[in-house]
Amino acid sequence: MSNSLKTNSARLLLLISIIFSSPKIFVYNADILTYINIQFILIFALRISSPQTNFNNLWFLFLASLINDVLTGLTLGTSGLIFLTIHAVASFQASIKLRNIFLSEWFAFGIAMIIAYLILGIIDLIIGFDLSYSKFLLNFLFTILAYPIFWYPITKLYA
């Protein structure tokens, strides 16, 4: 895959995941996306598999985060803080890796998720929103567990 195709398709994937992220597949009384944050996985996996994927010098990532905030009813800037944190951890991991080692990438993804969810928790405390902590924890765990499912096709296409 050529570099321009890689970067354009990465942007398109992220945008699709944000705009179409309401598939109405219900699992235990909740939408399946209550459990998994696909955007988090995509940002990390795309950046780490293809280091030239910097989402138009991060402008695109920033705009995507604003779209996500509006469509999910979050305070503006929330997704920006999270997306950029994940991108920063992925950039760091991409800069030190010599080859694709799944376990080390998964571990780094886990660290990125801990930081991202900590920021989410702090934001929740600031806004004073009633948050379901069991859903929050489940979302965190399932997002980490779902990483390998996305990692394999993304590495095959973008590495």
Partner 1 sequence: MKFASSSNVDVKKKIIIFFIISLFIFIIDASNKKYFQPVRALINDSIIYSSNAVKIPFVYISNSFEGFFKLFEKDKTLKRVNQLENKIIDLENKNLVLENRIRYLQDIIGEEKYVFPSQLAKTIIFKENIFNNIFIVNKGSLDGVKVGDPVIKNNVLVGKIIEVNFKSSQAILLTNINSRVPVRIGSMKYNAILNGHESEKNNLKLTFLPKEYSFVGGEIIYTTSIDGIMPEGLIIGEIKLDKNKKFYIQPFYEVNKLDLVSIINLKKN
Matching residue, tokens 């503006």: 76
Q: How far is CA 56 from CA 41, 46, 59, 60, 85, in A?
A: 19, 13, 6, 6, 17
Cβ-based nearer residue to partner 1, 60 or 150? 60
**Minimum distance from residue 80 beta carbon to partner 1 (Å):** 3
* Calpha distance 32→116 (Å, rounded): 20
Token output for 32: 């399946």
Q: Which stretch binds partner 1 (CB under 8 A): 1-9, 56-64, 106-114, 150-158?
A: 56-64
What 8-state DSSP symbol labels residue 75? P
Q: Does 20 interact with partner 1 (rule: CB under 8 A)?
A: yes
Q: Which stretch binds partner 1 (CB under 8 A): 6-14, 32-40, 105-113, 147-155?
A: 32-40
Q: Which stretch binds partner 1 (CB under 8 A): 3-11, 58-66, 105-113, 151-159?
A: 58-66
